[in-house]
Every structure is written in structure tokens, then in C-alpha cells.
């Protein structure tokens, strides 16, 4: 293209830009137009997140009587009329649902079960995830990326699908694990008929699914540690254990704290695994708080009481996360 053609192209672009700016300046300025672009987000956020959260809190102070009828609120703007339908028929009970929690033996048992499963699952997963991350971070390990991908794949598994697989693996009469134990001459384990081993089976299932996910987080934290710290420790004659204790762990503390809190919150919200693998048994030894809340809401239709359980769990998780942050020095 010749120099003259280039000048013609630039002239046309300048003319178009000038015309566009002139038209834009001639249009009337409407205040608040930018907010229209973000309005859909706030509408969807309000309908599907904010409203359920607020309504659940509101519902926790009532006893559910059944579906509502009639209109809760009428809007008359002369041009058109609109009404907000009554969602449900409620009876105000104040703090009765929250007081009921402390006298509900099954709820207290569900809290105990959830805490025990968390205490079994969370430390084991963090230790194994850290050990695997350290191994894959070692200099002599080749194809580390492929190993990380393979180990992290279980996190993509569907809850129901992998729970069904573990249900078959932990079956007492024909399960794979008991078959291997019997083949090795070892006693079989009552995975589903003993309360302790039922909790262990749930903890192992959770560890299998989430170990790779936490390993990736810890691996990323290990990559962020300055290599010069290790070199300085080697100059001072530090052993591998001393480098791990005085360099790796202190530098990795914020990441470890994040993994611990995230794992704890996830374990306290356990639902699909005990529902499918153990069905809350034996004798409600594996029923969790979320599972009990589900039964109260959708089996017994005690929506007010289930809402109180929900907010009791939220408060407990918040307090526990705060305590962990303080103990972790954050």
C-alpha cells in the first residue's frame, strides 16, 4: 500500500471517529444508565441468594403451618396493580425453635457425629496432602504436572457417583476392601454396622475426593517459598527436617491455615456421603447436622425448626473459623 493510500485510510478513520463523537455528544445524557448494566446481577443476587438467606432467618422464628394463601402485600400504582403472594402460613413462636435445639437429643448427636468425622478426616487429609505436595515439589521428581493432574482428578467426581462406588467398596459381605483383607488373612471390618468404622469410612471417602484439591493449594504455596531461604539454611548446616520445620512450615502457615479452615467448613457441611454410603446409620451414628436439617425440612416439613438448625450451623462454623484464625496467628 502506497503512502497516499495510507493517508486516505487514516483520513477516513478520523472522519468516522469525529462523526461518532459528534453524535454521542448530541445525545441527551440520562443519569443512572451505567447502573442498568449491572442491574441484572443484583436482581438475580437478590432473588436467588439474598432473599433465601434473609427469609430463612425470618422463618426460624416461626412454625410452618403449610402453604400460604392470599396476598401478603398489594401495590397499587394507579396505572397497574400488583400483589406479593403469601408464600406460607406461619405461626410466630419467637426463640422456641432455638431453645428446642438444646433439648433435641438427635440434633446433639448429629453435632457430635459431625465433629468426630471432621476430627478424623481433616487432620489426615491435611497431612497426606502436604506429604504429597512435598514429594511432587522435590527436584528429582519428573513429570510432576502429570502426577498433580492425576491426583487432583477425584475432585471432579460427582458426589452421588463416587459415594455409590465407596458404598460398594465398604460393603461388609461383598465389598472390595473386606475382600482384600480376607484374602490377606486379616479380619474384616464392620464398615456399616459399627458406629466408629462407619465414621471412618466417611472420612476416607472425603479424603479421597478432596486430597488432590488441597494438594494443589499446598503445592502452589511451596512454589512461592523463596529458594534463598533453603540455601541459607543449608549454609548454616540445617538438616532436611530442620529446613522443613524452620523454613517450610513457617512460610507455608497462611496456606495451611486456609486449607484447614476450608476443610473444616466442608466437613461440617457433610451431606451426600452419609446419605448414600451409610444412610445415617447404624442407629443414627453417622447422621450429620446438614442431613438432620434436610430430614426436618423435607421429610417432616418442620421448615421453621430446620431454618433454626441452619443458622445454628452458620454461627458454629463462623465461631470455629474465627478461633482457627486466632490460633493460627492471623
Please tell me the predicted confidence (pLDDT) of residue 45: 92
pLDDT tens string 75-119: 666 666 666 667 778 889 999 999 999 999 999 999 999 999 999
Please tell me the predicted confidence (pLDDT) of residue 197: 92
Please tell me the predicted confidence (pLDDT) of residue 14: 77
**Of 305, 311, 265, 292, nearest in space to 109 by CA:** 292
Confidence of residue 140 (pLDDT cuts 50, 70, 90): confident
What average pLDDT does this structure show over 15-19? Answer: 78
- Please tell me which residue, 174 or 290, carries the higher pLDDT value: 290
Whether pLDDT at 257 is above 80? yes
Please tell me the predicted confidence (pLDDT) of residue 97: 94
**Of 265, 225, 226, 232, nearest in space to 133 by CA:** 225
Please tell me the predicted confidence (pLDDT) of residue 74: 67
Confidence of residue 18 (pLDDT cuts 50, 70, 90): confident
Whether pLDDT at 192 is above 90? no
What average pLDDT does this structure show over 277-289? Answer: 89
Q: How far, in Å, are 88, 200, 215, 268, 269 from residue 153 at the CA level? A: 43, 22, 12, 23, 22
Instruction: Give CA–CA dist 86/74, Å, rounded.
Output: 11
Greatest distance between any 2 Cα atoms in the chain: 91
For residue 199 the three cell numbers come to 465414621
**Of 110, 100, 111, nearest in space to 63 by CA:** 100
Whether pLDDT at 7 is above 90? no
CB-based contact 117:95 (threshold 8 Å)? no
pLDDT tens string 20-37: 777 767 766 767 777 888
The reported pTM is: 0.82
Please tell me the predicted confidence (pLDDT) of residue 324: 87
In the chain, the DSSP E strands lie at: 62-67, 71-76, 81-85, 88-92
Burial classification of residue 57, based on how many CB atoms lie within 10 Å of its CB (0-12 exposed, 13-18 middle, 19 or more buried): middle
What average pLDDT does this structure show over 301-326? Answer: 91
Whether pLDDT at 2 is above 80? no
What is the sign, positive or negative, of the torsion defined by CA atoms of 257, 262, 268, 273? negative
Whether pLDDT at 1 is above 60? no
* Residue 86, helix vs strand vs coil: coil
Instruction: Give CA–CA dist 222/314, Å, rounded.
Output: 32
**Of 273, 264, 115, 294, nearest in space to 191 by CA:** 273
What average pLDDT does this structure show over 278-305? Answer: 91
Residue-range domains of the chain with CATH = 3-94 (no CATH), 99-327 (1.10.3720.10)
What average pLDDT does this structure show over 277-306? Answer: 91
Amino acid at each position: 500500500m502506497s503512502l497516499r493510500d495510507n493517508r486516505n485510510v487514516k483520513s477516513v478513520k478520523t472522519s468516522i471517529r469525529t462523526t461518532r463523537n459528534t453524535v454521542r455528544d448530541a445525545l441527551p445524557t440520562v443519569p443512572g444508565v451505567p447502573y442498568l448494566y449491572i442491574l441484572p446481577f443484583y436482581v438475580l443476587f437478590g432473588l436467588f441468594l439474598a432473599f433465601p438467606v434473609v427469609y430463612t432467618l425470618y422463618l426460624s422464628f416461626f412454625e410452618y403451618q403449610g402453604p400460604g394463601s392470599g396476598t401478603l402485600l398489594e401495590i397499587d400504582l394507579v396505572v397497574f396493580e400488583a400483589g406479593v403472594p403469601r408464600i406460607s402460613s406461619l405461626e410466630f413462636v419467637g426463640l422456641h425453635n432455638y431453645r428446642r435445639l438444646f433439648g433435641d437429643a438427635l440434633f446433639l448427636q448429629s453435632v457430635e457425629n459431625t465433629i468426630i468425622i471432621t476430627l478424623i478426616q481433616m487432620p489426615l487429609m491435611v497431612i497426606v496432602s502436604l506429604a504429597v505436595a512435598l514429594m511432587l515439589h522435590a527436584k528429582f521428581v519428573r513429570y510432576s504436572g502429570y502426577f498433580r493432574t492425576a491426583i487432583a482428578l477425584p475432585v471432579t467426581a460427582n458426589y452421588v457417583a463416587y459415594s455409590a462406588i465407596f458404598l460398594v467398596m465398604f460393603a461388609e459381605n461383598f465389598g472390595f476392601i473386606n475382600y482384600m483383607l480376607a484374602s490377606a488373612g486379616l479380619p474384616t471390618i464392620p464398615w456399616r454396622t459399627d458406629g466408629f468404622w462407619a465414621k471412618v469410612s466417611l472420612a476416607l471417602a472425603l479424603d479421597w475426593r478432596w486430597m488432590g484439591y488441597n494438594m494443589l493449594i499446598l503445592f502452589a504455596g511451596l512454589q512461592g517459598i523463596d529458594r534463598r531461604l533453603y540455601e541459607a539454611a543449608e549454609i548454616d548446616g540445617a538438616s532436611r527436617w530442620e529446613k522443613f520445620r524452620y523454613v517450610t512450615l513457617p512460610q507455608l502457615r497462611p496456606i495451611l491455615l486456609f486449607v484447614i479452615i476450608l476443610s473444616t467448613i466442608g466437613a461440617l457441611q457433610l451431606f451426600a456421603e452419609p446419605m448414600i454410603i451409610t444412610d445415617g446409620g447404624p442407629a443414627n451414628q453417622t447422621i450429620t447436622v446438614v442431613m438432620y436439617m434436610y430430614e426436618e425440612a423435607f421429610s417432616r416439613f418442620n421448615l421453621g425448626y430446620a431454618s433454626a438448625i441452619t443458622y445454628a450451623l452458620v454461627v458454629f462454623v463462623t465461631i470455629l473459623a474465627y478461633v482457627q484464625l486466632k490460633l493460627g496467628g492471623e
